[in-house]
Amino acid sequence: MIGVFDSGLGGLTVLKSFLRVLPSYNYIYFGDSARAPYGGRSQDTIYGYTKEAVDFLFAKRCKLIIIACNSASAQALRKIQQEYLPQKYPGKNVLGVISPLVEEVAQDKNIKRVGVIGTRATIESDAYKIELKKLNPDLEIFQTSAPLLVPLIEEGWSRQPETKKILKKYLRPLKVKQVQILIPACTHYPILYKEIKNIMTKRCNVLNSGEVVAQSLKDYLERHPEYKINKVKNPVVNFFTTDDTKRFRVMAKKFLDVDVEKIKKVCL
């Protein structure tokens, strides 16, 4: 069983790619919707919430956990990996979304200017910048936080002209810098993928973050048979949320494109 954690519903865009690239596994998706969004919260708070999510998913017998949330990957993952796991879950692992995305960018030696757009927590952590620089110190990295996008998407306003205007405003500084590649560093942004591509034009490659993370997970599973995460004939996905299951179902249809059945509410 593979655990997928997000602050709420956005991580379903990542799960969608997992189900496409790695369809033969059982998954548990856990969305902490009652405490979302994480993007405006402090590091301590995000770390505390993420630890609880990790406890929950390991208690559900997940053999590996993927933190789909960029804000949690940026603000909590390193501490989880370096301090929490060795002490509480030796031999287990939790992965995030930042390494796969920066590796994808850094492997293209023609790329010199990179744009990153994300929540405030993600951008202020500088996690993408730090990791990109480790792989290629010559990269020029331009970042922008876009705190209004998550609520607009959750409100179903993705196709509204107001949202396009706001998106344009957020992307403008990156466009002016002529970034060659853009990392949409937030689980919700794939919903705006087309709009982002249109604004950035053909001159900028917009990463399909879910697909990159899914391919990287595929490689990881191949390289780490010791986790014994078996493929199954009739895979299932169980959903858990800390908030209302009705809203989760409606939003899940939008993010995942399928009707989801097995949703349970949990209190942490």
Contact positions vs ligand DGL (CB under 6 A): 6-8, 10, 36-39, 69-71, 119, 122, 150, 186-188
Residue number closest to ligand DGL, CB atom: 39
Instruction: State the Cα–Cα distance between residues 246 and 265, nearest whole angstrom.
Output: 10
CB of 20 to ligand DGL, least distance (A): 19
CB of 178 to ligand DGL, least distance (A): 25
Question: What end-to-end distance do the CA atoms of the chain give, in Å?
Answer: 20
Instruction: State the Cα–Cα distance between residues 83 and 86, nearest whole angstrom.
Output: 6
Instruction: State the Cα–Cα distance between residues 110 and 208, nearest whole angstrom.
Output: 19
Nearest residue (CB) to ligand DGL, 25 versus 190? 190
Helices 209-223 and 98-106: crossing angle, nearest 10°?
100
Residue that has been written with the tokens 């789909």 in this structure: 68
Longest pairwise C-alpha distance within the chain:
50
CB of 86 to ligand DGL, least distance (A): 26
Nearest residue (CB) to ligand DGL, 28 versus 69? 69
Instruction: State the Cα–Cα distance between residues 43 and 52, nearest whole angstrom.
Output: 14
Residue 267 falls in the annotated catalytic set: no
Which of 62, 69, 204, 267 is catalytic? The answer is 69
Residue 112 vs residues 77, 95, 98, 107: alpha-carbon distances, Å: 27, 27, 19, 11
Nearest residue (CB) to ligand DGL, 65 versus 150? 150
Q: List the one residue out of 246, 248, 260 whose CA is nearest residue 10.
A: 248
CB of 10 to ligand DGL, least distance (A): 4
Nearest residue (CB) to ligand DGL, 186 versus 191? 186
Residue 31 near residue 240, CB atoms below 8 Å: yes
CB of 119 to ligand DGL, least distance (A): 4
ω into residue 137 within 30 of 0, thus cis?
no
Q: What is the CA radius of gyration of the chain?
A: 18
Nearest residue (CB) to ligand DGL, 36 versus 116? 36
Residue 148 vs residues 118, 173, 192, 247, 259: alpha-carbon distances, Å: 10, 16, 13, 20, 27
Nearest residue (CB) to ligand DGL, 124 versus 140? 124
**Which amino acids are annotated catalytic?**
69, 186
